[in-house]
A and B are shown apart, each in its own frame.
Chain A
Amino acid sequence: MKMSAFDTFRDIASSHGVVFYYEGEFSANVIAAMGDAVKNKIEQDADGSKKKRKIFSTFIEMAQNVAHYAPGASESASAGYGALAVGKAGERYYIASGNYVEARHVARMREKLDPLRSMTLDEIKQAYRAQLRNDEHTQDAVSKGAGLGFLTVARDAAEPIEFSITESTEHNGLFAYFFLRAVI
């Protein structure tokens, strides 16, 4: 990156309140290091510990989502490849992630994410409690967690989560680009 491009990049980041941006492989080591950086950044803020915990929780859920579900940069990669930003807009923080997902999972993701946008916090907590007790989920071959990740993000967000899934013609249409944003 030339110095002029670096300046442009820095200006854009600064005008969007970006405090942290990463693009690359989401290995466990990278997530742990980023987690420390995020903690340090928010620690300097005057906000209460509840909000700090929510920011950290959302960061971890979104980062591990990339790690588990995004395709890797190469065949041999063990963790997914994607981008993640933590930023501040006014009094609130946002966490945004972008990564490819397999096109065959798109319908399933929409089914999980769409309802979360219109649910109240009580409804989200209720759905969370139901999913916690859902033993069927262990038979879900696609999910690598407990099916609680998006619910956890929605529960900690101060506004409905935003997402978009854009079909891509690259790679024979095997992948779609997934963008997710939560405000805390």
Chain B
Amino acid sequence: MTTDIRIAATDMSPEVHFHFSENRFSLSGESYPENAAAFYGPLIVALEEYLSEAGGSNIDIEVRLAYFNSASTKMLFNLFDRFNEFAALGNTVVLNWIYDEEDDTILEFGNELASDFAALEFRPQAMVS
């Protein structure tokens, strides 16, 4: 079984909880690490390992990011691509997308994810700031 991942937030990187054992995932805070590929790469590798043996699981993801830079955007896109492939096999993956109601950019990116990754159950939720 893939070991759970917990990473504390820093100024430049988000708090990450990948509770593989409970099929729960969360990302929160801000994401503009110096090297986004180095930050997200190992997370994607661990996720792939987990997904390869998670068939039949109901996955719940909560994303509550206040800001992510362009390089992080691409890595998040790749991350949700993996979840979508898993969902397309007939598994349930709920993506709770929590965004600041005044932040069009984050909602727009969420909508991009929803349109490209149709197997994900996309649940946008505006947060009043």
Contact = CB atoms under 8 A, between A and B. Distances in A.
Given A28-B34, A49-B103, A132 B77 contact: yes
Interface stretch (A13-21, A55-63, A69-77, A97-105): A55-63
Interface string B63-84: 0000101110111010000000
A46 to B, nearest CB: 15
A119 interface: no
A132 B112 contact: yes
B67 A148 contact: no
Given A145-B71, A152-B70, A49 B129 contact: yes
B34 A61 contact: no
Given A57-B67, A60-B32, A67-B34, A132 B73 contact: yes
Contacts, number: 65
B102 interface: yes
Interface in A129-184: 129, 132-133, 144-146, 148-149, 151-152, 156
Interface residues of B, number: 23
B36 A56 contact: no
A53 B69 contact: no
A50 B103 contact: yes
Interface in A21-68: 28, 31-32, 35-36, 48-50, 53, 56-57, 60-61, 64, 67
B105 A146 contact: no
Contacts of A149: 70-71
A61 B73 CA distance: 12
B103 A64 contact: no
Contact of B11 (A36, A48, A151): A36
Do most interface residues of chain A lie in helix, strand or loop, or is the interface mixed? Answer: helix
Given A28-B34, A64-B69, A129-B112, A53 B103 contact: yes
Contacts of A31: 12, 34
Contacts of A60: 32, 69
Nearest to B11: A32
B122 to A, nearest CB: 16
B12 A32 contact: yes
A123 to B, nearest CB: 15
Interface in B84-129: 100, 102-105, 112, 116, 129
Interface of B: 11-12, 32-36, 67, 69-71, 73-75, 77, 100, 102-105, 112, 116, 129
3 nearest A-B pairs in the assembled complex, by CB-CB distance: A146-B74, A148-B70, A145-B71
